[in-house]
Structure 1
Amino acid sequence: MQNIIDELSWRGLIKNKVPGIENKLKKPITMYIGFDPTSNSLHIGSLLPIILLIHFQKKGHKSLALIGGATGFIGDPSEKEDKRIFLSQEILQNNTESIKNQILRLLNFYSEKIELLNNLDWIQNIYFLYFIREIGNHFTVNHMISKDSVKKRINNKKNGISFTEFSYSLIQGYDFLYLNKIKNCQLQVGGSDQWGNITTGIELIRKKTGKKAYGITFPLIVKSNGMKFGKSEKEENIWLDEKKTSPYKFYQFWMNISDLEIEKYIKIYTFFSKDKIENLILEHRKCPNKRLLQRKLANEITEWVHGNKISKKMIEITNILFEKKNNPFQLLDEKTFISIYNYIPHMILSYDDFKKGIFLLDILKKSGFFSSKSEANRALKANSIHLNKILVKENILINKENMIGKKYLLFQFGKKEFFIIKIE
């Protein structure tokens, strides 16, 4: 496909677009996407804007990645029910550096030399009076409160919206205006929750320069509860930093995508050609239980985020843990446990606990996977517990004879949850 709009539409990467953008993109233009440093790591939702940057660059356009060193001070109110907690300058600087390094590494993987900017470089030099006179003068309060991100907060009588957050859209709009003047940037791309902020920038450029600017949004990737992945969310995310989400958990997230969604995800999260993806989908549909698409996606995206060495290790660990044909004790030796121990949930217990043996339910409670022995007992009665890949049906006494390599116990809860106990 030569047309970037056709490419993105087929992949399901366009939610909204300004009329006329198709004709504008027939020739190379400059576009940008922003990343606010509200955390020290990106997450899988953040991969979408990076993917968009790469798609545009590959099609001959100029992509700019903008880190919001200034907008991060304020916090975007979009999709937020509560007021954001302000981060200190030191934390924001650390976050900015971490995210910058992640973005550069992800882009360099595909050899895309995309320019990286920080809006703090120009926002910090603006006088407040100049801003409210020269920028704020172009927008009525009526216009501002009509935007969904603001309207939802105003209608929230408990929290409302502060003037600080209210001004966020104007600052983002100014970014677009600045990049339009300095870099001839004519297109801003963002998540669907950014549509109001993007149109503010488009309107500002029109009023200040008389030029036409454009915007495109992509659909947000949401969790199973319908909430979007977000850097400042308190709930658990799938992070790109291996210290926040282990590579094993990262890999398993993709492996566990349902057959209903995997065909959508393979288009969104890979750069495979249309022909290749369509052939993979046809092959997958013939035998879905082999999880061909899930494996392809998990392998591809784990290698991109964590590197080839770790990706191969995750494939090896997955094959070991989910292998059903071979004898468990041929698969699980001490060497194997040493290689996989740090990648899956684990804990250490003392040999003293095993001198007289320790009952299974007591260990299960210690593992933290169950809040009480009664909960663990219910799982046991439901045939949901495996020890060293062998189904356990009663509260057995565990001692050294049950250990692999005299120091490891492998527990499996249900079909997907694994836990290793190391005894030393």
Structure 2
Amino acid sequence: MFLLGFFLGLFVGLCVWVWQQVNLNRYLEGLLQPLSSHSHKITNIKLLLRPRVRQEISMVNRQREDLQRSLSMYRELLDFAPLGYLQVDEENQLLWCNQQAREILYLQRWQPGQVRLLLELVRSYELDQLIEQTRDWQKPQVQEWVFHPSCEDAKVMTELKSMFLRASSLPLPTGQVGVFLENCQPLLDMKQERDRSFSDLAHELRTPLTAIRLVAETLQTRLEAPLDRWVNRLIQEVDRLINLVQSWLELTQMENNPTMQLNLEMVEMRSLITSAWETLEPIAQRLSLKIAYSGLESIYIQADKSRIYQVFVNLLDNSIKYSPPGTTIHIDTKIISTNNGQMLEINIIDSGVGFAIADLPHVFERFYRGDKARHRSPVNEVNSTTGIVGSGLGLAIVQQIVIAHGGLIKAMNHPETGGAWLQIHFLQTMTNSPRQDYS
């Protein structure tokens, strides 16, 4: 009985194989039908093509299986990735997204395999605009925004919190676009908590520092040389700490409130720069430093005069610290026409060793000091007028003030002098006279 079943199965298998071969021969004959006029060659072509066609079909099947395995592997990797990823077609229909993207964008209504418009699933104008720009410009784009999630359940809606997202998009073939999503809200919360902690600490430090200075002033009147020099040194260090704490509080306030309250008025820039230099001139004279100004005789911008004065005091003081004795600090102002109107460009150039290339992206970060960037001479450090020598806060404060005025500041190295080159751009300028040179 067992042998009967075995031979019966073998017979059925042979019949199926013969049937497949017959169908394959018929298919090949159909392909070669247009060549029927050359019947004497068809037999040879059949014999040559039949093994080749079978080989090609087998190869195509293997390639398809390999592609399916690769696609599955890549999707598993993206599902495991810490970043969200989504992909849309040329009509902005969501083709696929990983688990992280579903969690970040609250895509509960979407199921794998569905093809729906992304805007129906995610109410985010910024994300939609990013995708359109990427497709139009055919270049990778990066955008940051605050995302306000939504869902159909009203109870859950009240519990959802907004989050700060960063999206990086890239164009794909046939009009598709891929977008990587990163939830930056935890980092932002950590930064805000850190700033609050440091601000509280700075507030608490001001009182004991003031008390220490009062004690030092009392000792200063009761001590004679050479002991009084130690008290004088103590007062200098306490003043430096007090200024550092005050600068930290000021910078934190600026960062937390970018649209700080400004007392705007029309400010004449050349006289303001001259006033800032006159404040620092006693220090510059000790080092035989000079200033060379070239620009318009009268140039006005709408700004907070005290804040802009603070900007130039910090920048010029920074240039004095790093300039070799006997050199010149160059200041150049000029008007540039843009699509948004006129723009004032101010260049401050010294003749020091400049910034290290690796430090340039971090120049305006708080407390950043490059080890090899710019050598500080001890004399220059002692003669600093900012009171925050080496703190790394001066340029950070400058950047926040410039940004609050709607401007930009950039750090470079000048190709001719080799020294630091700080460039500021302000909009809304008004000039009253032609260009002249002053030294």
Q: Which has the higher contact order (CA 8 A, sep 6+)?
A: 1
TM-score bin, normalised by smaller chain? under 0.3
The structure with the larger Rg is: 2
Specify which structure has the higher proportion of strand. Answer: 2
TM-score (normalizing by structure 2): 0.17
